[in-house]
Amino acid sequence: MLRLLWLGTLLAGWSSPAALAQPTPTLTFRTLTTTDGLAENSVYTVLQDRRGFLWLGSRDGLNRYDGSNVWVFRNDPKRPTSLSRNFVISLAEDHSGQLWVATGSKGLCRYNPLTNQFQRFQASPTVGSLVSNFIQVVFCDRAGRIWVGTEEGLSLYEPSTNRFRLFRQASALPANARRNAVRTIAQTPAGALWVGTGEGRLCWLNEHAGLLEPEARWQPTSAITALCADRRGGFWVGTEADGLRYLGPGTESVRVFRESDRPGSLPDDKVRALLLDQKQNLWVGTTNGLGYYERATGTFTSYRHQPGQMHSLPNNNVHALGQDRTGLLWVCTENGVSSFEAQPSSFTTLPVSTKGATPVWAVGEDAAGRAWVGTGDEGLICYDPKTGQRRQFRHDDNDAGSLSADYVRVVYVDRKDCIWVGTQSQGLDCLLPGATRFVHYRHDPTKRNTISDNAIRSICEDTEGHLWIGTEGGLNRYDFKTGLFTAYQHDPANPSSLSNNFVHKIFQDHLGRMWLGTGGGGLCLFDPVTERFRAYRANERVPRSISADFVRTIAEDHAGQLWVGTEGGGLCRLDNVPRGVFTVYREAQGLPEDVVFGILEDEQHQLWLSSNKGLVRFTPATGEMHTFDSRDGLPQNEFNVGAYHHGRSGQLYFGGANGVVMFRSAAVRTNQVPPPVVFTNLRKFNQAVELDTSITERRVLRLAPEDYYFTVEFAALNFRQPDKNRYAFKLSGFDPSWVQAGGRHEATYTNLPPGTYTLRVRAANNDGLWNRRGAALTVVVAPAWYQTWWLRLAASWAAFALLFGLYRLRVRQLLALEQVRHGIARDLHDDMGSTLSSISILSQVARTHQQQQRPAQAAAVLEQIGESSRRMLDAMDDIVWAINPAHDAVEDVTARMRAFASEALEARGIALAFRVAPEVRGLALAMPARREFFLLFKEAVHNLAKYARCRQATVTLARPAAHRLVLTVQDDGVGFDPQAPAQGGGHGLANMRARARALGGQLELCTAPGRSTTLTLTIPVK
């Protein structure tokens, strides 16, 4: 009787399954609008080209989206190669990669991606032109032919003639203004072409007869707005106001789907778009939302705009639907274009709260597979995923057996299926199997062997059946037999005691060792036998120590490896227990932050880590980390300490600020398509550059010398959370290694040396899958004129010529010096040698005279010896003076000339007039020239003093021209006959002429017997 009463009470506490049935999984719509760069929010068509770009036709231009930027093409009245009109309602790509654009009322345009230019096709009276500028649809069939649906019929473009061929319905049919208005085109798997008209007829193309043939089974409706052929050869037909219809192959009757009040009906009768996705699921776009057709039940699931929900459908008026090559679906609306996954997210929220989001601090699971959830303000909640039933336990001041507090921090289910509940500050509670009231355990300072603190943070049952409780006042062991607690606390005087009383995690490994995570004391290893603790603490002076002293979680993987989650130090792997060696994983290794709140291992031996920035899937074997956050469909990003659990059926639970996230790791989908990589733009000095050939199509980029600052933009054409795309680039020939650019999708270079380089770009998609091949662009930097090869060759030859000229000059200088040396040696040999020989002979003569007692004769000979010695000293003095570089200036030359002339002439009573013109000052004579010039002058003065018999002598130095020096020596003596033999038998005049030739000058002598003598020497100077 008591058991039946308890059962009735228990059932009364459970919420009904109907009331708590899980709602239909929602789709996550990510919307692109004008704030992201779209030309206009009203989007009417979508297409992905063969390069991977997404093209969007809007009311105000054609948009090309690359995942990062939107490039808008608009009409420019000054450019005939621009778009003919900004209103774009249909797009098609032909087999050559050119884009065909229907503009509504301005004809057809063909876009050439190579030049970024448009060619216009418009209606005219010319045969073969378009029959109407009002184009509703453009379509490319599987043969690559372009079909154009106009208000006047269906046109086929014939590239060979650049003309259009027109197809219409037979004129025998009743007249209707919209009879031939083609609104939509589709092709069956067999290749047949079908069109839907504004008159509401479904027609197939009889190309042989040149006609559009109406389908006999089809009864005209309102205008046909959408047409989609399935694999069976049947057609889904959307109408303007009469709902959706299906025309099966063969003789099947037409099925009609209409809007009604019945659940699962069509969202609206005004159908605007149809799409059979890659799995042949039907999506229907209407003016009142998006519908998904459930084939098994024949019903529709409707998705509509939900005000206040960021990831709902942006607008209920759906114009077009599309799917890219990765399977991502696109829906075009009046308020932007949205992408979404056909399948709901693998991450779901456990519906534990009736109020919506609630903070969760603990999760557990009993033997029946029910989830027990500890919340921050709603107490303890038990939820049965199988039935959807829910029961809540809360604190009641009037019920001593109720939960101690509504703030629950720990939930633990022991081997006996007892539910242990740790509260924020009101102690420990236990709910026995089958019981409805809690047993309370609280700290009592007046009694021994009570729990040491009421702030419960962790619970663990060891292999021997003892219950261990971590509190903010130490570690406790509970003995089930005695009902007593044994406390272990920090003792500053005992280094083997607990390192810190804040015990946040208790874990027993496969060897039976007890590990404790503390809030400030690091990781502790506890030996229950000796009751001694060993602490592993962070120490920057110890390599590979634990990274932080705040340990939040501890886990062991299938291989027995211990993992430690910290706050501020990331994830740590304990590699060596005796030595305390850890391997640390932090943000640099891929974590979203250095906080790890929970660790769970899945069946694939991957670790799942919870943090404040989502969940991380970590593969220890490779070190690869992948972060899942709200962009991946995760219901929340912020998780809480201790709120995690691995369910018996493989479910993983993580609790956070907004409830519990549950999922199966094997069901978590990742993007396995490596993203195409393209170049999108070129900037020089941060200004966009329009190239004659699009940089997307270019293989070589040539830069002038003045383009020394340039930027190349690129994109990964992955549209699943494109903000997660990552890039790396390398300029071969310049960059020594790959540049990890993160989310930055451009590369800037300055002052590149002339040469040929290759810019290589790699990209990873949102799930970290890299396209290793990437894209490559050859960059050729032209040299400046002063860097050209021919200038360098000319400079090399000029340098060679200069060096050769310097060499020749040096050789000439050395030869001249050698000649001087030879001249000096010759003079020394001739003058000194002959003089010394003469002195030697005269000395012997003098000795003979002395021996023969002829003193007069001896004295005369000695006088000759003295004269010879003086001449030799004068010659030596001239040589030493001539080779001294200090006497190069003409002023030194004239001073010596004046001194010599004065001494030689005044001794003979000859008056001297020595004149030097001012222009002569500042000249410099090289050593050879100076020597020859002075000796020539000396010879002239010597002859004048010896033979002229004059009273007056005049010496003049003049510079009548910049490059000429003139020496004039004049006397008023008796003169002589230049043709007669020289007086005294000398060679003075011949020597002077020889010296004049050596100076490169000219010597002139004007004299005659009985008249004065004038000697003029003219030499070149610099």
Q: Identify the pLDDT of residue 303.
A: 95
The closest of 923, 964, 930, 928 to 812, measured between CA atoms, is: 928
Q: What's the rounded Cα separation, in Å, for the pair 741 and 735? A: 13
H or E stretch at 286: strand 282-286
Half-sphere exposure of 52 (CA within 13 A, CB side): 20
Cβ-contact 137, 184 below 8 angstroms: yes
Q: For the chain, give every domain's residue range.
A: 37-340, 677-787, 788-883, 887-1020
Q: What's the rounded Cα separation, in Å, for the pair 616 and 591? A: 7
pLDDT > 70? residue 179: yes
Q: What angle do CA 956, 962, 966 make, to 5 degrees?
A: 25
- In the 8-state DSSP scheme, what is residue 550? B
Name the band, by pLDDT with cuts 50, 70 and 90, for residue 6. very low
**Bridge partners of 58?**
43, 61
Q: How many Å separate Cα 190 from the centre of its chain?
A: 47
Q: What's the rounded Cα separation, in Å, for the pair 205 and 180? A: 12
Contacts of 296 (CB under 8 A, 6+ apart): none
Contacts of 812 (CB under 8 A, 6+ apart): none
Q: Identify the pLDDT of residue 13.
A: 47
Q: Identify the pLDDT of residue 291.
A: 96
Q: What would the two tokens of residue 280 be?
A: 């042949």
Fold for 677-787, please state it.
Answer: Immunoglobulin-like (2.60.40)
Cβ-contact 86, 59 below 8 angstroms: yes
Q: Identify the pLDDT of residue 939.
A: 86
Q: Identify the pLDDT of residue 347.
A: 92
Q: Identify the pLDDT of residue 987.
A: 62
pLDDT digits (tens, 9 = 90+) for 309-325: 888 999 999 999 999 99
Name the band, by pLDDT with cuts 50, 70 and 90, for residue 983. low
Q: Identify the pLDDT of residue 11.
A: 36
Q: Identify the pLDDT of residue 18.
A: 40
pLDDT digits (tens, 9 = 90+) for 891-901: 888 888 888 88
**Bridge partners of 485?**
478
Contacts of 548 (CB under 8 A, 6+ apart): 522, 538, 566, 567, 568, 569, 570, 594
Q: What is the mean pLDDT of residues 262-284?
A: 96
pTM of the predicted model, to two decimals? 0.74
pLDDT digits (tens, 9 = 90+) for 938-969: 888 888 888 888 999 999 999 888 888 999 99
**Bridge partners of 572?**
564, 584
- In the 8-state DSSP scheme, what is residue 864? H
3-state helix, strand, coil in the chain (%, to 5): 20, 40, 45
Query: May I ask the CATH architecture of the domain 887-1020?
Result: 2-Layer Sandwich (3.30)
The closest of 688, 770, 678 to 715, measured between CA atoms, is: 678
pLDDT > 90? residue 786: no
Tell me the average pLDDT of the chain.
90
Q: What's the rounded Cα separation, in Å, for the pair 724 and 630? A: 12
Q: Between 903 and 294, whose confidence is greater?
A: 294
Q: Identify the pLDDT of residue 173.
A: 58
The closest of 669, 760, 680, 762 to 721, measured between CA atoms, is: 669
Name the band, by pLDDT with cuts 50, 70 and 90, for residue 1. very low
Q: What's the rounded Cα separation, in Å, for the pair 349 and 902? A: 126
Q: What's the rounded Cα separation, in Å, for the pair 138 and 109? A: 10
Name the band, by pLDDT with cuts 50, 70 and 90, for residue 518. very high
DSSP string across 122-189:
-B-SSTTSBS-S-EEEEEE-TTS-EEEEETTEEEEEETTTTEEEEEEE-TTSPP-TTTT-EEEEEE-T
DSSP string across 363-428:
EEE-TTS-EEEEESSS-EEEE-TTT--EEEE---TT-TTS-S-S-EEEEEE-TT--EEEEESSS-E
Residue 260 phi/psi, 5-degree rounding, is -155, 180
By percentage, how much of the chain surpasses pLDDT 90? 70
Residue position matching structure tokens 């509509």: 304
Q: Identify the pLDDT of residue 353.
A: 84
Name the band, by pLDDT with cuts 50, 70 and 90, for residue 20. very low
pLDDT digits (tens, 9 = 90+) for 717-727: 999 999 999 99
pLDDT > 80? residue 244: yes
Q: Which amino acid is at 928?
A: P
pLDDT > 70? residue 873: no
Q: What would the two tokens of residue 9 be?
A: 């009470």
- In the 8-state DSSP scheme, what is residue 39? S
Q: Identify the pLDDT of residue 172.
A: 58
For the four alpha carbons of 830, 879, 1018 and 985, in that order, the dihedral sign comes to: negative
Q: What would the two tokens of residue 63 be?
A: 């948009």
Q: Identify the pLDDT of residue 837.
A: 62
Half-sphere exposure of 152 (CA within 13 A, CB side): 14
From edge to edge, which strands make up the β-sheet containing 43-48? 43-48, 54-58, 61-65, 70-73
Q: Which homologous superfamily is 37-340 in? A: YVTN repeat-like/Quinoprotein amine dehydrogenase (2.130.10.10)
Q: Which amino acid is at 588?
A: A
By percentage, how much of the chain surpasses pLDDT 70? 92
Q: What's the rounded Cα separation, in Å, for the pair 874 and 883? A: 15
pLDDT > 80? residue 800: yes
pLDDT digits (tens, 9 = 90+) for 332-389: 999 999 999 988 888 999 988 888 789 999 999 999 999 999 999 999 999 998 888 9
Q: What's the rounded Cα separation, in Å, for the pair 849 and 970? A: 44
Least-confidence region, from 284-288, 454-458, 738-742, 826-830: 826-830
Q: Identify the pLDDT of residue 154.
A: 97
Contacts of 701 (CB under 8 A, 6+ apart): 682, 695, 712, 777, 778, 779, 780
Q: Identify the pLDDT of residue 22.
A: 43
Q: Identify the pLDDT of residue 830.
A: 57
Q: What is the mean pLDDT of residues 110-126?
A: 95
Cβ-contact 467, 476 below 8 angstroms: no
pLDDT > 60? residue 36: yes
Q: What is the mean pLDDT of residues 129-134?
A: 94
Residue 880 phi/psi, 5-degree rounding, is -60, -40
Q: What's the rounded Cα separation, in Å, for the pair 284 and 286? A: 6
Q: Identify the pLDDT of residue 493.
A: 95
Cβ-contact 45, 138 below 8 angstroms: no
pLDDT > 60? residue 561: yes
- 499 CB neighbour count, 10 Å cutoff: 22
pLDDT digits (tens, 9 = 90+) for 899-922: 888 888 888 888 989 999 888 887
Q: What's the rounded Cα separation, in Å, for the pair 813 and 297? A: 111
H or E stretch at 58: strand 54-58
Name the band, by pLDDT with cuts 50, 70 and 90, for residue 499. very high
Name the band, by pLDDT with cuts 50, 70 and 90, for residue 842. low
